[in-house]
A and B are shown apart, each in its own frame.
Chain A
Amino acid sequence: MERRDFSFVALARPGAGRDKKTWEDTVVEQNAHEGLIGARVRRKEDLRLLTGRTQFVDDVQLSGMLEAAVLRSPVPHARIVSIDVSEALEHPGVYAVMTGAEVKEAVSSPQPVIWRMIPDQLIPDGYPLAVDKVRYVGQGVAAVAAKDRATAEDALELIDVEYEELPAVASLEDALAEDAPKLYEDWPSNVSGSTTIPKGDVAAAFADADVVVTESFRFARQTGAPLETRGVVATWDPYTSHLDIWLSTQSPNLARDLLGEVLGISVDKIRVRTPDVGGGFGNKFDFYGEEIVAAILSRSTGRSVKLIEDRMESFVANAHSREQKIDVELAATSDGAITGLRATVYAVLGGQLGTVGIGPCWTTAALMTGPYDIPNAELSVVGVMTNRSPYGSYRGWGQPKSNFVHERMVELLSRRIGMDAQEIRRKNFVPPDAFPYASPVFFYDSGRYADCLDLCEKSVEQAGWLERRDKARADGTAVGIGYSFHVEITAFGPSRILNMAGLQHAGFDEEVVRIDSTGHVTVYTGQSAMGQGVQTALAQVAAQSLGVALDDVTVVVGDTDTCPYTGYGTGASRAAAVGGGAVLTAATRLKEKVLRIAGQILEASPEDLVVQDGRVSVTGAPDKSISMAEIGDASYRRMNGLLPETESPTLEEREVFDPANVAFSYGCTAVLTEVDTETGEVRLLDYLIAHDCGTVINPLIVDGQLHGGAAQAIGGALYEELVYGDDGQIQTTTFMDYLIPTATEIPPFRLEHMATVADHIPGGFKGMGEGGTIGGGAAIAHSVEDALSDYGVSITSLPITPPRLLAAMRAGKDNG
């Protein structure tokens, strides 16, 4: 196994290159009059969302537009012997039929894999539709463009594909078996690559350990299942060769670059517009073959082509995630100091690598020490190809597994040495004075972990859970309380460092703040709105930084022709932190210009001016004031005598922010759970998260993100599983079989907040879109174990289903 030195993280030391004065002054000023940053204001988006005024990609209707459908492989592993499309082409209403071989001819490069953490990783060439071979059920084989979707689906049935079936590599065990059939014949095995992240001297740590705890964990496949499936509308202008794309995506700038790369055209000819996005959850960060298929079908037909993934397709064609096997060993002293962690993450990859390659699984390894100061670690990841759908991005991006592992190991150590798990946590936390802290890969910027754990425990007591548990147990009901502590990497991230880690893209953010001729404000952002409230958050930052009302700020998203460039995309919990930071800096600079202009008009020094509610006035002389509208007019229209000769017309600032480091949020989750000991059913009675994400922009949004994230954690812990049979066939292609929790399965949530600012991000913001998802699984597992403490249950795999839990209870009893 290859070992890599991650010493480059030293470059990530926070503090480098930040402009401290600008933002800190602003924050102080904001806090002085309890401004919009931190205000629980209603989201600007919601009126449109709740009244059905939104436009999703399937609502896009263009003149002469065709609709496409993709023929998908019914078999997991086969050679494509022949494809006969002649009958489909003759079907009335069909305009074009395209096979994988034709698509390959039409592109300049294979589908991009932008995360390449393992230098010698074998990365197969994947194309938008299968070429020569299919490697998973649902892989696209051919596509049809027709007058409408129903006709396109009719035509799919007329395409005759002859498959020569090959033995399916249906699971991790199949893939690693000796003499396993190979997905890629020229590879030595089904292993795409492996790497090891070292820290300290792990061999010595284990040799000297008082206690070694060993366990193996399994995580089921999941998908983000956004309410709106993926979709694209492509228009290739045959005369200008411009490609105009409507795409339901979290990363329009990335998509534009990748479209250019694959299609071999310069990006000035590509416009990506993002309509309202009906949920992304990471799935829509990734770049899929359908984007290319629609573009090529448009080019070949000379018409706009809409390609919408339907729900059944979504279960095979949208990113799959989470599936891993992790073998772990933990070394500790008998008094609970964790001295070493050794783990191997087996990434159960699909038949092809997705946009982010092995990225999420590498992150599982990279962040496996969690909030703990573990001096010695050896964290490996092995990527294994199987005949399953490709692995991709999903909220948490590897971290839910890291969290489950370190929290479960803490609990197992607690059982072994008879020390309270919370005490083990406290003993091993990275202490507040150790920040910035070098974890095996990343620098943690700031945190007060023990305070957060205290806050959580105190809140649990105040909520009366201990009495509830006692009372339930006295009545013979199995009720338990479980905790977990998580860290969450956010504010992705420093571009050059991400490049060094293997990312073929950047992580900076660019924001434009403009005051117009009426004194109103427009923020142009490259971040995507996908229901998370980013427009409101950025508007709050701009409004407070400029001193205008929230209603006077409009945030424009979703068009690469008019909005600035953001690296990466809207994922990795970065929009509020890096976008908010950039908006704050741009708006602060813009305010300086406003004050210079107002100073000239009011005949006062800019230092003596204050801006509030869109009015600039002289301190101590409130009748001496001018409105933002008058300043706007003077800057764009009637300048003479008002706009200083030294100032150029217009009021606009542009800020590019490339953070010096990522930022780490963190939290402590507690769950109160009841188990029906006869049926194995788990019911969550109450749920509490104590949380720190630095400066909060809008508590309402933060609460919503934690609620939604926790709901997805509950899904992963108790319900969701993409099941494959031994034959490589997927068995969960409807919501009757893939069980996402509904409102009736979600308990009430209690949230507690504390704020430790990220001092390298303007405003002190940290991201927090994934924390709810990261910490939930372990807390739920621990609550179940606590409820069943009489049974000696040890949960090592997710989801915890009623039949599995009943079996575990019996196994626990048998063992006990």
Chain B
Amino acid sequence: MKAATFEYVRATSVDEVVRTLADDEDAKILAGGQSLVPLLNMRLARPTTIIDISRIDDLSYVRRANGHLEIGALTKHRVVETSELVHRHVPLLADALRYVGHVTIRNRGTIGGSIAHADPAAELPATCVALDAQLVVQGPRGQRVIAAADFFHGYLMTALDPEEVITELRVPVLAKGTGCAVEELARRSGDFALVAVFAAVTLELDGTCREARIAVAGAGPAPVRATAAEAILRGNAVTTDVITAAANAVADATDPPSDIHGPAEYRREMAAVLSRRAIKQATNRANGGV
């Protein structure tokens, strides 16, 4: 388990990253190294150049601007998870990050790295989809902004061009009266999810659902946004029947894989079970519960 040989470049600026990517189409970016380093050591990834961006300081921040939070791509999971701004404005993100590996992993793993890696069972991509987040990326032709809904194309595949790098995650601030919940089924604490459901429910003062956001990890080759389930909730009182109908709609929207940890049918069924629990808890929290 020793990596094949590669060139190593320690980048000091985003421009240098983009230039180096353009020069070598088989280059790979190293940020926190939590996914790339095992792949290198197993020789499943064989880049010719490793661009180490971990020393670029100005890409690590969490700040509020214009109705959303801006999170630098090199911000560590643990920093976001414990950020006061995130807890206040996008609690779903903080809830979700608690399920990413273990604390030691979250101390090193970066937001940009997890999104760029695009593991469909990972928590962060699905959370970004649920929250209508945006990704700011930089390439040789400058900056562009990609909606999370358009970003994740399939298993470990994204809308990122080979010479582009993610610089920032933008997450809209959730409306007042929103409750969030994450329900994850994993074989062990800290494992990738068999299935995980990320839900945010916004209630009117009369208790009807104004807005619902539901996304699922482990549900297919990319994170799944359960729009049909959201529509079932929107405009309705969140009764047990409505929750069950919405949860079933979530399951219908999934196309999970089968593997040694669980068959597809099991995962799909669990998507309904977890959705029921998540919607119920998010609704309770929107009502001021815990």
Q: Which residues does A use to contact B, with CB under 8 Å?
A: 149-150, 153-154, 310-312, 678-679, 681, 719, 721, 723, 731-732, 734, 736-737, 739, 741-742, 744-745, 801-803, 806
Please, which residues of chain A bring their CB within 8 A of the CB of B37? none
**Chain B residues closer than 8 Å to A737, beta-carbon distance:** 260-261
Contacting chain A: which of B7-15, B137-145, B181-189? B181-189
1/0 per residue, CB under 8 A from A, across B247-290: the answer is 00000000000001111001000100100000000000000000
Q: Say yes or no: is B154 at the interface (Cβ < 8 Å to chain A).
A: no
Chain B: minimal CB distance from A318 (Å): 14
Residue contacts A-B, CB under 8 angstroms, 24 given = A149-B2, A150-B3, A150-B5, A153-B2, A153-B4, A312-B1, A312-B42, A679-B185, A679-B273, A719-B187, A732-B260, A734-B42, A736-B192, A739-B187, A742-B188, A742-B189, A744-B188, A744-B189, A744-B190, A745-B188, A745-B189, A801-B262, A802-B266, A803-B263
Contacts of A806 in B (CB 8 A): 266
> How close is B105's CB to chain A, nearest CB, in angstroms?
12
Q: Choose from B1, B5, B263, B270 the contact partner of A154 (Cβ within 8 Å).
A: B5
Measured between alpha carbons, how far is A39 from B57 in the docked complex, in Å? 55
Closest-by-CB residue of B relative to A740 is B188
Residues of B within 8 A of A745 (CB): 188-189
- Determine the distance from Cα of A760 to Cα of B39 in the docked complex, in whole angstroms: 55
Known A154-B4, A744-B190, A802-B185; judge A731-B266 contact (CB<8 A).
Answer: no
Partner of A679, one of B5, B190, B270: B270
Complex CA distance for A681 and B4, rounded to whole angstroms: 40
**B interface with A by C-beta (< 8 Å):** 1-5, 38, 42-43, 185, 187-192, 260-263, 266, 270, 273
Which 8 residue pairs spanning A and B have beta carbons closest together?
A744-B189, A150-B2, A310-B1, A803-B266, A803-B262, A723-B260, A678-B273, A153-B2
Q: How distant is B186 from chain A, measured CB to nearest CB, in Å? A: 10
A731 to B259 alpha-carbon distance, docked (Å): 10
> Known contacts A154-B5, A679-B270, A732-B260; is A742 also within 8 Å of B192 by CB?
no
A contact residues around B38 at 8 Å (CB): 734
Known contacts A149-B2, A681-B185, A803-B266; A736 and B191 CB within 8 A of each other: yes
Closest to B195 in A: A679
A500 to B93 CA separation, bound complex (whole angstroms) = 66
- In the complex, what residues of A have CB within 8 A of residue B262's CB? 801-803
How far is A678 from B5 in the complex, measured between Cα atoms in Å? 49
Residues from chain A with a CB closer than 8 A to the CB of B263 are 803
CB distance from B217 to the nearest CB of A (A): 15
CB <8 Å contact, A719 and B188:
yes
Residue of B nearest to A151 (CB): B2
CA gap between A149 and B2 in the complex, in Å: 7
- Given contacts A737-B260, A806-B266, A311 and B188 within 8 Å (CB-CB): no
A637 to chain B, nearest CB (A): 54
CB pair B260 A731 closer than 8 Å: yes
Interchain CB contact under 8 A, B1 and A311 = yes
What is the distance, in angstroms, from A803's C-beta to the closest C-beta of chain B? 4
How far, in whole Å, are A220 and B189 apart by their CA atoms in the complex?
A: 22
| Chain B residues near A312 (CB-CB < 8 A) | 1, 42
Tell me which residues across on chain B come within 8 A of A723, comparing CB atoms.
Answer: 260
Bound form: Cα–Cα A419–B266 in Å: 36
The complex places the Cα of A745 from the Cα of B189 at a distance, in Å, of 7
A629 to B132, alpha carbons, bound, how many Å?
Answer: 78
B271 CB, min distance to chain A CBs, angstroms: 11
Q: How far is the CA of A352 from the CA of B273 in the complex (A)?
A: 46
B residues near A149, Cβ cutoff 8 Å: 2
Contacts of B2 in A (CB 8 A): 149-150, 153
Cβ distance B280 to chain A, nearest Cβ, rounded Å: 13
Chain A residue with minimal CB distance to B192?
A736
CA gap between A149 and B187 in the complex, in Å: 34
- In the assembled complex, which residues on chain B have CB atoms less than 8 Å from the CB atom of A732? 260
List the B side residues contacting A739 at CB < 8 Å.
187-188, 191
Given that A679-B273, A732-B260, A737-B260 are known contacts, is A742 also in contact with B190, CB under 8 Å in the complex? yes
- In the complex formed, the residue of B with least CB distance to A742 is B188
Further pairs besides A732-B260, A742-B190: 17, Cβ < 8 Å: A153-B2, A153-B43, A154-B4, A310-B1, A311-B1, A679-B185, A681-B185, A719-B188, A721-B260, A734-B42, A736-B191, A739-B188, A741-B188, A742-B188, A801-B261, A802-B187, A802-B262
- A residues near B42, Cβ cutoff 8 Å: 312, 734
Q: Shortest beta-carbon distance, B195 to chain A, in Å?
A: 9
Closest residue on chain B to residue A721 by CB atoms: B260
Q: Which residues of A contact B266 (CB under 8 A)?
A: 802-803, 806
Contact residues in B for A154 (Cβ distance below 8 Å): 4-5
User: Please, which residues of chain B bring their CB within 8 A of the CB of A736?
Assistant: 191-192
Closest Cβ neighbor of B183 among chain A residues: A679
For A733, give the chain B residue with the smallest CB separation. Answer: B42
Q: How far is the CB of B267 from chain A (nearest CB, A)?
A: 9
